[in-house]
Structure 1
Amino acid sequence: MFGVDYAKGLDDKDELAKYRDEFYLLKDTIYMDGNSLGLLSKRAERTLHDLLESWKTLGIDGWTEGDNPWFYLSESVGEKMAPLVGGLASEVIATGSTTTNLHQLVATFYKPSGNKTKILADELNFPSDIYALKSQLTLKGYNPAEHLVRVKSRDGRFLNEADIIAAMTDDIALIVLPAVLYRSGQVLDMGRLTAAAHERGIPIGFDLCHSVGSVEHALHDWGTDFAFWCTYKHLNGGPGSVAGLFVHDKHFGTAPGLAGWFGSKKESQFDMDHVMDPAPDAAAYQIGTPHVLSLAPVIGALELFEEVGLQRVRDKSLQLTAYMMELIREELSAYGFTIGNPLDDSRGGHVLLEHEEAARICRALKAEGVVPDFRTPNGIRLAPVALYNSFEDVWHTVQKLKVIMDSKRYEKFTNQRGVVA
């Protein structure tokens, strides 16, 4: 298990190994940062060029003509994403960014009344979500210090679901949680939490940024009220690619909290009426014009998931991260590393290594041709992605880490993060 030949043998048996050739791999580099920004696939490049060509050859008629008419692009891409979140095609729309979609959904679903005025979140969530929740509370005239409840972690890594459920008290009007914790990679039981929230009459939504394209979901069957996510991590849609949102069909007809022109029903949008006629489904929650060129690569990126199937992606992801953890335990146990992600299958698509010298170790890894991801204060995230990383990549990554620690090459660098960690 601990020699390179064993890793090569695993690659020989890997049914997804052929998809590695679909991506532009960085020269002389092992890319382990796909949980922050996925690599460019040849299909994503093709569909970007196709959309540019439609602009070049059709001009304004590109809105209604060509292989991917722009006017319907958010809906068609949403339909392709729906299986990845376990939603109906009508429940998913490709639009906006993660945080703008969160603002839209909180503006729609946060309806304080009487004693129910608080929003429940957690202390380990990504900062942008917390900023948005505080902003929404302030807009409603509430003090975030009093009305944003954040479930505490018992160990600084994980959330205890019993603690989350215990915090679903009578004064909670809305719940927003991550599906996968961005540092530790813990996957929350979204079905259990949705059921608990609904037993108490509280709407609940999830941030899927670190789960979409990495783990399976069943948002419709769970009855989850809403969700939102980016497409540039595990979905490989490109930097700044258009995000997605889900609204359960039981809420269709609920007016969007933030109304905008492209949330209108297609048939009446160009009537130019000052009274909005909202789309009858998740499309109503669009705010502005589709970012066509930022949607374009997502079309091709999603083709790979349609072809491979998320279950196969998830299975290989778990195998890759399990193999990485086994190598870490065998090869790096003497160097002060701690594995900070769940050891069982309740982990997402990355491994979290904790070390007091994490920032400088990340810098040393990059100097050795491995691209990791640093997270304050002491985290090294390594994401072997099922569609383009190999078991041999995992083996070489751990060997390079061992050389760096043996030779203390990390001491050449300061223990401070870069501007973009």
Structure 2
Amino acid sequence: MPSETAPRIGYVVKVYPRFSETFVVTEILAREALGEDLAVFALRPTDDTRFHPELARVQAPVFHLGRPTKPSALWSVLRDAAADPALADAIAAHLGDLLAAEVDDAVQAVLLAAAARRERITHLHAHFGSVATTVARLASRLTGIPYSFTAHAKDLFHESVDRAALAQKLEDAAFTVTVSDYNLAFLRETLPATGDVHRLYNGLELDRFRFRPRPVRRGPLRIAAVGRLVAKKGFDVLVDAVVRLRDAGVDVSAEIAGTGELAGDLGARIECAGVGDRVRLLGPLPQHDVARLLGESDVFVAPCVVSDDGNADGLPTVLLEAMATGIPCISTDVTGIPEIVRDGDTGVLCRAGSVEDLVAALRGFADGTTDAAGLASRARRLVEERFDSRRQASELAALTAGRRVLEEVA
């Protein structure tokens, strides 16, 4: 790209917008608030029917890259790209890379390269080290535009991850960020010679998550849980814990917000256990309704586990949101979660998958032996210190500009 081109960052994501990926929108908004010029390139159309209101505040234009499948359409993509002599030469020079990729990835890389040149993009940043980074890397090779990416969890730990391909992406990237110290240690231990990698926590717009101390509880212990209804969220453990507490005479109720492939299984589990009057599946909720749920509940539970295929959560954004708003939290010792839920300090930590641990933790809130107010106030302080989206945006801007960022501390 010409040296006089003003900096412009192209965000590469698989799907945009995606209801469950609020962290992407928060990051874009924070970088725009710094004055950065952004554009979004999406590889797939969204199939979400609900959207968070913050989406309307994003100023960046969104470009949806096609996935042509007919030979004539594929040929048209190449013909259009070849109209740019520099891109035509790059395609010829890197034909081996393109042929080695999946056809969708190669074609979308050509489309991204053409769009990035047209939109005068100076840096590409992808979220997740899977398909979005595959396409960004190939487009970078075709254009010379540097790229970076954020590695989260599934793109590191799932059994389908190609370690050699991930190592190549790390090596070729201008820099990589990942969302926890646990992830950073994992990358440095398993792929030690690959690239410039930093831990950078996802951030929150703290003004949208104001701290509200819990009133004195009267009535049953009200439990809130939010997330996709998939194995790694561990909501079956929460259902089983509610059953045991009921059987022990402890008055509790739980509301679980989210949708996913296990909705039917969870519903059947609730019905078979006879706790339909105590556990409700709410379906997907926009952020303002999640905020209301948190405000009306006594404790937030994120009972995360590592699923059989190795998939795991990194640092669930909704857990940070809950901690920010003043609801005390219970979670598990999965990946980076202990970095924010510090047992007895900023929350209560259970062993992943342990119904016994979760029952004991919930009992402590139900009988008042756990210092809920102290946990909540210390959790808010930690979020303010470490998870402000303005800090995240500043560090991303510094890395993109090739400057040193704040030291990562445990």
Give the TM-score of the pair, scaled to structure 1. 0.27
Higher RCO, Cα 8 Å, sep 6+: 1
